[in-house]
Amino acid sequence: MWLAAASAATFVVAVLLFDTNAFPQKITSPPFTVESEIVRHDEGSIVHSGPTALLVTSYNQDGSEVILSWSSHNKMFHKAVFRTELALRGFIGKITRRFLLTPEQIARREQEAVVYPAMIGESWSLGQRADLIQSGCTAQKNVVGQEVILNYPTKAIQHNIGADRILTLWMAPDLSCFALRARIEVQQPDGTLKLISEKKAIRVTLNR
């Protein structure tokens, strides 16, 4: 039992080191909020203890996603365990930033734009927030398409997130580059792509 707990703690540390986790400070009244639905398949996340279906409310602050709330109706999902895991990750993340990063590294992390494409505890860095906003969401110049989602024009930006995984984000310039859709696909041996997770915005609420 103790060995299992120790292994789980080690895995959480590994996730934190992989994750770029730059949480902007939440503001009292964001200009907009987005309700999104996340569906993960067998390989949709590096943290398999989380729910496979999730509803998330979030917004973008200067190009970086901020999670406001989440819920899940998965019958096999133990919400209390996952909440504890998220709290542990947050605590270890604070310790990591305080003792292992230099002030310059911390400042750089705080300026990174992050998105949560498949799970609320796993972020992906999109580079510097200022560069992302000023470029109209195309700072990394890998635009693969355009689409209107919930009446907002978006640009589809593609990222390689591993040897065989591709992350595609449909980002809305009018919403501070919020990703109204996010897909993670894995390349199969025959070259085809298999969908392993998808995040879709289902409602945008303007608060101004």
pLDDT tens, residue by residue, 174-200: 999 999 999 999 988 888 989 989 999
Domain span at residue 160 reads: 2-206
pLDDT exceeds 70 at position 18: no
Res 178: pLDDT: 97
Pick the more confident residue, 48 or 60. Answer: 60
What type of residue is 136? G
pLDDT exceeds 70 at position 19: no
Pick the more confident residue, 100 or 16. Answer: 100
Res 198: pLDDT: 94
Res 101: pLDDT: 62
**CB contact burial 128-152 (16+ within 10 A = b; e otherwise):** ebeebbeeebebeeeeeeeeebeeb
Helix, strand, coil percentages in the chain from 3-state DSSP, rounded to 5 = 25, 45, 30
CA 93/CA 89 separation, integer angstroms: 6
Q: What is the rounded average pLDDT for all residues in the chain?
A: 77
- Which range is most confident: 52-56, 135-139, 175-179? 175-179
Q: pTM score, two decimals?
A: 0.74
Into how many domains does the chain fold? Answer: 1
pLDDT exceeds 90 at position 146: yes
- Which range is most confident: 75-79, 109-113, 171-175, 184-188? 171-175
Res 42: pLDDT: 63
